[in-house]
Structure 1
């Protein structure tokens, strides 16, 4: 969706950088050791940055343009009705930002990794996915999920102001048999490619670091998917509910505090535990869980 992809592409770029955390850190050390003033263009030789650019340009941006052309009302969250109502400059900007935001997400996460803030880099991906799901769940008028689960603008207009849980489920079920849902299902191959690239980068990093007891593929998949479709989705839903109950000002404040304690703060947050499961910190190889006293 036009309103969503700007956040999604940022999260994708940051996620690619996070998966290549160890490679980025190693390259940064090598560049610093080889020359006090390395060539500023050397960063564009990074294979992981190149993969990010190719993924966003060839797959992600292309899929967005296809959806905008095939389902203009759904892709604009029921704002536009047909192609004629969408200005050409908006389509162009949409295609460009699907690439540039991905590169921006990669660059921000890369800078954080090189500065030694690896957990903060992971949070960049989480922030992008949270913003994406909040727009899908809440939107700008509290009806984001209704806009998403409507195949076209006519269907969206039939939603009641305050639908019951049963009616909402019934409408979601009908949406699952719509051409939009079938198209998204076919495009899930793009997500599979995304996961494959991230898993490959993670495993490359483990090998380079000499980590022999690396996490299994199943654990890595559960961790990555749990971060996105568990932590970020639930955080967006909680934030939306609080905004509905308390209004924008108090709802945002309470949601921010709750998410900070439950998700972000290293002492209590689930995101930090997922970060440790991915073994992206500076813990020595093959010593992820041994107590400090045992290492002495």
Structure 2
């Protein structure tokens, strides 16, 4: 969806950036544009991720815009062009931020960029801007949304969902295979790294966003925001669930290179 892809792109780029920074610690330090893993990330964003978003905008405009724009005629050309661009540029930003943090010795903060991006993505998806994000998601057409229909099971067999399945078969395995390969080593097998990379978005991202959405809808804005702040700090603290999952990754550098103190 247009409203969430900016965060999704950042999360993807950050995931690539942290994995690439760790994989490169035993290699000579190279400028960003000479970093072959950065090139791989940009190619993935521009050739796999961005086209999927444009496909959805063109084919399912209402759903892709969370029913803010029912048809392509309701979308200005500059907005579509900006959407296509940010699907790449925000991933580049995520990569650069994670890479810089890792090289500065802030390894946990570098790793955290990925789940934080997924949390923001899923929060917008679940809450939206008015608490109806999840209802907008499960309405495959603007007509269904305007009629007040809420049929999650029916959505699973809708043309939107079937298209998402097809895209996911290409996007997700490719992303996991690349990132897991960069993480593999120092006792972490590629298959296990891929499984961990799949767990992180759904536990820290979707799980935390779902609880935050329920808190906001049941407690109201001000108490809900306070509860969300406590939730986010608790989950993403180094001693929280995020810290527990981070310890499953080898955040320390390879033995052959002296490591700066971890943040």
TM-score by length of 2: 0.92
Given candidates 71, 74, 78, the residue that maps to 2:63 is 74
Q: Does 1:63 align with 2:43?
A: no
Return the alpha-carbon distance in structure 2 between the equivalents of residues 48 and 230 of structure 1: 27
Return the alpha-carbon distance in structure 2 between the equivalents of residues 59 and 272 of structure 1: 30
> Which is higher, the Rg of structure 1 or of structure 2?
1
Return the alpha-carbon distance in structure 2 between the equivalents of residues 57 and 181 of structure 1: 22
Partner residue in 2 for 1:196 = 177
For residues 235-258 of structure 1, give each alpha carbon's deviation from its aligned partner in whole angstroms, at most 9, with x where no partner exists: 001111111122233312221212
- SS class of match (1:77): coil
- SS class of match (1:6): helix
Asked if 2 retains the 8 angstrom alpha-carbon contact of 1:25 and 1:113, the reply is no
Given candidates 37, 42, 55, the residue that maps to 1:48 is 37
Partner residue in 2 for 1:108 = 97
Q: Does 1:224 align with 2:197?
A: yes
Deviation for aligned residue 1:259 = 2.5
Q: Does 1:264 align with 2:236?
A: yes
Return the alpha-carbon distance in structure 1 between the equivalents of residues 54 and 80 of structure 2: 8
- In structure 2, runs of 5+ residues without a counterpart are 257-263
Asked if 1 retains the 8 angstrom alpha-carbon contact of 2:155 and 2:161, the reply is yes
Partner residue in 2 for 1:181 = 161
Bigger CA drift: 251-260 or 190-199? 251-260
1:229-248 alignment runs, 5 A limit: 229-248=202-221
Given candidates 99, 102, 120, the residue that maps to 1:131 is 120
Return the alpha-carbon distance in structure 2 between the equivalents of residues 58 and 222 of structure 1: 24
Deviation for aligned residue 1:218 = 4.2
- SS class of match (1:150): coil
Q: 1:18 and 1:247, CA in 2 relative to 1: closer, same or farther beyond 3 A?
A: same
Deviation for aligned residue 1:6 = 0.3
Return the alpha-carbon distance in structure 2 between the equivalents of residues 186 and 12 of structure 1: 19
Return the alpha-carbon distance in structure 2 between the equivalents of residues 255 and 43 of structure 1: 36
Q: What's the Cα RMSD here?
A: 1.7
- In structure 1, runs of 5+ residues without a counterpart are 32-37, 161-167, 286-296
TM-score by length of 1: 0.82
Asked if 2 retains the 8 angstrom alpha-carbon contact of 1:239 and 1:255, the reply is yes
Asked if 2 retains the 8 angstrom alpha-carbon contact of 1:16 and 1:106, the reply is yes
